[in-house]
Chain A
Amino acid sequence: MAAADELTTMTAAEMAAAVAAGEVSAVELTRAHLDRIELTDVKVRAFLHVGAEPALAAARSVDERRAAGRPLGPLAGVPLALKDVFTTTDMPTTCGSKILAGWQPPYDATLTRRLRDAGVVILGKTNMDEFAMGSSTENSAFGPSRNPWDLNLVPGGSSGGSAAAVAAYQAPLAIGTDTGGSIRQPGAVCGIVGVKPTYGGSSRFGLVAFASSLDTPGPLTRTVLDAALLHEAISGHDPNDSTSLDAPVPPVVAAARNPDVAGLRVGVVAELSGDGYAPGVLTRFNETVELLETLGAKVTEVSCPHFTYALPAYYLIAPSECSSNLARFDAMRYGLRIGDDGVASAEEVMSLTRATGFGAEVKRRIMLGTYALSSGYYDAYYGKAQQVRTLIIRDFEAAFEQVDVLVSPTTPTTAFPIGERADDPMAMYLADLCTIPSDLAGNAAISVPCGLAPENGLPVGFQVMAPVLADDRLYRVAGAVEAALDARRGASFLAQARGLAGLDETAEAGR
């Protein structure tokens, strides 16, 4: 058996190969990660629930399958951290909210089912901003997760727990959901790869909705190839999701294995830089654009004039949908119930429970959405935002006539300290400035690490955006960037994460 450290620092592709070759059992691999979680999660707080028993059972069944000589999928036996927004029959699902504390869903999400079918070992459920509303996990009712690069910083959000788990080597794979940037932004600030597939490419059935027309599940991994493998495993048509695309999954794994940008037309979005962007972010971004040029890409600047309205449009559309989606949390059928003293009416119990069970950001967005949909305001707010959405889609269409992919920084800044923006919603919302346009348009986008900001030594994410169902282009570009930077560094990106040393100290102390 390999040393525990070796087992947890391998890539998912390597782990799967080792399991398939019998060099390591899925159970050993799972145990190594469960141990790593046990030793490090007191500091990282990536997980809301660790399902050691179901994880080991899943690992055993992979080992049995292998022993029986039956074929294994490309990720069989590889551990994964699942955002606590997907339903699971063997673990609770809370969405980071008190209102759902302890809820045990009676059904598996399509994505959960697909992971199980692929032999992926679900270790547990990861922390998140409550109902995926936030960019830091500070909105989780169960406390924030920490950024493994520096435990005083946020890991981003809302899929911050998933990103932190991957960055802390607690799992090589994680699933997040992206509504306004909730995969790419935590991916960027935790120094890992995060992908928002084309909307409809990965099923939403069993994903507890925040904003139905935007929510997109996707992978968080340490390498571009791992992301592609996971992307492929969770994608494909689902008849239980009316918005699921009945189309072949783009050849993402092939693209990740053979990243080549020679001749690729790359457009730099003019509107996604300048004021408000940290200098280190822009430095690394510009270097990466130059790198792509040296790799043979044809770089031009492209204007998407309506992108500046993406943020306000998003903060009307997402809250509007959320105000309706979250109405079901009413203390009647499941979850928390407050104030049912035999005298209070159903209406009063609903109001008390929702006031107690929801956190501040959720309440803000519910009221904002209720406002935007109210008669008399609908046209000026929700209606207008939907028109802006059309204009943003048209900007993308025009841009993709000139170039194959668009690029920008993933986030305007690197990870910020816990508490800094906690009660300043507008400042928090800016974290999603660059990621929102792709959510509104429903196309595909990736964040890949592109170096450390010189001023603070924190990771910077490089965002690539591709047209609907051209997800493979993301992997061509990100794979090329990753390969070139790894070659230049001579080591994987995460090896530089200084917070990890602190975690390892904990680990040593634990032993």
Chain B
Amino acid sequence: MSITRDEVAHLAKLSRLALTEDELDHFAGQLDVIIGAVARVQEVAAAGIPPTTHAANLENVYRDDVIAPPLDADLVLSQAPAAQAARFRVPRILTEE
């Protein structure tokens, strides 16, 4: 067993996925198999091997501090599920960040 159902429930919460009990059962089994399989990377002797995060070997890619025209506010809000007073309207926020 590489991952428990409770852990999967926690992952779902962290990932903002309101999974049903059935889904949790289903995913717990599958993720257990998958994690077991991907854990094979741990077999590799990789001591002292630097990680690769970028396929492209680039550094210092910048842009100049020059203003580009922003989007039209109406266009921006036209795709919003809800908007009000030129702002995105979102459901009440429970936690402060």
Contact = CB atoms under 8 A, between A and B. Distances in A.
Q: Do A and B come from one complex?
A: yes
A363 B19 contact: yes
Task: Give the interface residue-count category, chain A.
Answer: 35 or more
A330 interface: yes
Nearest to A385: B41
A336, A344, A388 pick with most chain B CB within 10 angstroms: A388
Given A335-B81, A340-B81, A347-B95, A316 B61 contact: no
A425 B75 CA distance: 39
Given A315-B38, A350-B16, A393 B90 contact: no
B46 interface: yes
Contacts, number: 184
A370 B34 CA distance: 14
B34 to A, nearest CB: 6
A153 interface: no
B55 A214 contact: yes
Contact of B37 (A199, A312, A327, A388): A312
B44 A306 contact: yes
A336 B81 CA distance: 7
A444 B18 CA distance: 40
Interface residues of B, number: 56
A199, A346, A352 pick with most chain B CB within 10 angstroms: A346
Interface string A345-385: 11111111011001010011011101110100000110111
B39 A312 contact: yes
A442 B93 CA distance: 41
Contact of A391 (B46, B58, B78, B90): B46
B85 to A, nearest CB: 16
A125 to B, nearest CB: 17
A383 B63 CA distance: 30
A104 B18 CA distance: 26
A386 B53 contact: yes
A242 B58 CA distance: 9
A354 B17 contact: yes
A235 B55 CA distance: 17
A75 interface: no
A371 B16 contact: no
Interface of B: 3, 7-8, 11-20, 23, 27, 30-31, 33-35, 37-44, 46, 49-56, 58, 61, 63, 71-72, 75-76, 78-82, 88, 90-95
8 contacts: A103-B79, A199-B55, A243-B61, A309-B44, A347-B16, A347-B95, A371-B35, A384-B46
Given A315-B34, A360-B27, A385-B41, 4 more contacts: A245-B58, A313-B38, A368-B31, A439-B55
